[in-house]
Structure 1
Amino acid sequence: MKIVTVDLGGTNARFAIADLHDDRRPTLGKSRKYRTADHGGLTDAWAAFARDEGGALPKAASIAIAGPVESDLIRFTNNSWVIRPATLAAELGIEQLRLFNDFAAMAAAVGVLEADELAHVGGPEGPLPGKGLTTVIGPGTGLGVAQLLRREGHNIVLPTEGGHIDFAALDGFEEKLLARLRERHRRVSVERVVSGPALADIRATIALIASEPIVPMDDAAVWESATDGSDRVSVQALDRFVMSFGAVAGDLALAQGAQSVVITGGLSNRIADRLASPLFNDRFRAKGRFERRMADIPIRLARHPEAGLLGAAAAYQEEHRR
């Protein structure tokens, strides 16, 4: 069976044709990317994909969307697109349609990744457990968290809002960071500290404590200067970010009773070397009486280049296997 698989974000919409299988993961065809700003809506981008594919598209689709998918009207933060789930299939001219939250799709992708697509970050070497629960986590615009439960040959995805639990400061610096964030936010969740935009706040806090001038930078510039080493304070901020990420990932794995953890996303892949360092791993394991258990949890980094497309197809395939 062939379907159209779509990974729909605020800036870009990615499309591919996927072949579904009974005995192995979906096979993706050529992926195509369209800037949302260049198209009036999903139907326009769909038509562009159909044109570029050179013919009629399959009559079924699975779409991963960056945001909740349960409402009657889906709006995007970074573009003017609006999706009405009740009428979308008719608008696209298809017969079967499934919508998934983008991070639920990411967890579905993790469920079908091969061993060489999961880079070692921490914990024991070797393959991930074949059954049990995996915490899937990845920082982006926010902090995505999902659970992947492997049971009786099935991959069951459990979306969560784990990125919105309260942030807990673990040392003097984090107490100062938390106090500073509380001046602007009624409540400080973990994604205020572990997400792409958070790096600028961490950097500004470091400069403030050291009585240094806070040189304004947009988020992209802060990340660039942190990863290429061109700005000392940005580098320090990135180290602090990784430490907090390790603590949060460990808290969630402990709370969820996870047998493994998989980290996902473009930002995570940019800092793979730091994630594999003690900055991340020491904080991940530092859970008091459960430190030994935490050290036994394998932690991996997902490396698939089109995990969103693969995940949307895998989630659709899994639903049709049950």
Structure 2
Amino acid sequence: MSPASRSGLQLVGDVGGTNARFALADITGPTPRLFACESFLCADYPGVEQAIDHYLRGASAQGARPRAAAIAVAGPVTGGAAALTNGAWRVSEAALIDAGFSSARVINDYTALALSVRHLEPQDLGAIGATPPTAAEETVVVLGAGTGLGVSAAVRDGRSEAIATTEGGHIAFAPGDEIEIEILRQLTTQFGRVSLERLLSGPGLVNLRAALARIDGREPEPLTPEAIVTRATAGEDALCVESLDRFCAIYGAAAGDIALVYGARGGVYLGGGIAANIVDWLRQSAFRRRFEAKGRFVGYLEPIATQVILHPFAALLGAAQSLQPGRDASSLAMAADVP
């Protein structure tokens, strides 16, 4: 991409608890195009403005600085500002304008993922179970476990679409069998209230493994989420295998519950950093069985496709979509903080 061709591009970002991703976006066509996609560790920068400056020094060298910015943030957005739920950064439209942008938008990261769904190609998705055809104008749900657990929906009625931005990752965990009842008891002792995020996230996988060990009267050695997944997929550690199996089962049950809440006949999409790394495990796990196991509503859930978002910069597509004409703030539901 030549310096001259960069002049009409805008900055888009996806800021999570661990990583910040940026790109330059062409929003002139019906589907945004991304250039110079890069990822950075949030811990390497004191704030988002410094990370953006570092990115732009390389990505837009000799080209015009983007005039507009849209940053998707893993936290509730109020009045154009957000603090990371699982991180130290604060991101605001006012600060971005002070940093030199003519206009700026801060949206929730799962607002961005919901906006991205229309632009994902078949190669950007990994199916869990069958993928029956669904009407393009049906409501879809996006949820994803990563540093935290995000939930959103693109609510469609055949004529229009509105994004429901939520803090659904913080609804209460509902156990599905005797083992999960014991897991809830263990985590209630530790945390008091047990939200879905306490299990369906990187830290949640650690919590889950510890709870399963204590149920068996053991105190496990500390492991990172990455180490748990590595040991499980290598078949090297029975407790890690059990933990990842249980994680997938609870993930499926939660996805089915949220699909019922929104009437997500258009499909359920899994974002976040974990699902894309364990697609094969999800496929052979109890995820889909628990997704459908809703008593009288099995028949309602069976036709709903469940797919993993494999596109590494899907949220950046959605952030770019939020800058397109017609996407004003009134069409993007703002998140409210949920304890």
Would you say same fold, with TM above 0.5?
yes
CA 120–71 in structure 1, closer or farther in 2 if over 3 Å, else same: same
**Aligned residue among 170, 177, 194 for 1:164:** 170
C-alpha displacement at 1:186, in angstroms? 2.2
Unaligned runs of at least 5 residues, structure 1: none
User: Does residue 1:242 correspond to 2:242, yes or no?
Assistant: no
Letter in 2 for 1:159: T
Give the SS at the match of 1:158: strand
User: Does residue 1:56 correspond to 2:72, yes or no?
Assistant: no
User: Does residue 1:261 correspond to 2:268, yes or no?
Assistant: yes
- Determine the structure 2 residue equivalent to 1:88: 96
1:109-150 Cα offsets, whole Å, 9 max, x none, are 123212332222124444x43102001111112211100124
- Determine the structure 2 residue equivalent to 1:70: 78
C-alpha displacement at 1:291, in angstroms? 0.6
CA 137–174 in structure 1, closer or farther in 2 if over 3 Å, else same: same
Conserved 8 A contact 2:80-2:106? no
Give the SS at the match of 2:52: helix
Q: Percent identity?
A: 39
C-alpha displacement at 1:99, in angstroms? 0.8
Letter in 2 for 1:15: F
User: Does residue 1:199 correspond to 2:205, yes or no?
Assistant: yes
What pairs up with 1:37-56 in 2 under 5 angstroms? 37-52=43-58, 53-54=60-61, 55-56=63-64
Conserved 8 A contact 1:120-1:300? yes
- Determine the structure 2 residue equivalent to 1:225: 231
CA 39–208 in structure 1, closer or farther in 2 if over 3 Å, else same: closer
What CA distance in whole angstroms lies between the structure 1 residues aligned with 2:212 and 2:44? 39
Conserved 8 A contact 1:199-1:223? no
Give the SS at the match of 1:183: helix
Which deviates more from structure 2 when the two are superposed, residues 222-231 or residues 137-146? 222-231
1:156-206 Cα offsets, whole Å, 9 max, x none, are 321112212221111110010001111122211122222221212222222
CA 155–226 in structure 1, closer or farther in 2 if over 3 Å, else same: farther
TM-score, length-scaled by structure 1: 0.90
User: Does residue 1:186 correspond to 2:200, yes or no?
Assistant: no
Instruction: Give the paired residue count.
Output: 319
Conserved 8 A contact 1:111-1:155? no
1:22-53 Cα offsets, whole Å, 9 max, x none, are 4x210001112333333333332222223212
What CA distance in whole angstroms lies between the structure 2 residues aligned with 1:136 and 1:33? 22
What CA distance in whole angstroms lies between the structure 2 residues aligned with 1:229 and 1:307? 31
What CA distance in whole angstroms lies between the structure 1 residues aligned with 2:327 and 2:128? 33
Letter in 2 for 1:236: E
C-alpha displacement at 1:82, in angstroms? 3.7
CA RMSD between the two structures: 2.3
What pairs up with 1:262-301 in 2 under 5 angstroms? 262-277=269-284, 279-301=286-308
C-alpha displacement at 1:276, in angstroms? 2.0
Unaligned runs of at least 5 residues, structure 2: 1-7, 332-339
Letter in 2 for 1:111: R
Which deviates more from structure 2 when the two are superposed, residues 91-100 or residues 311-320? 311-320
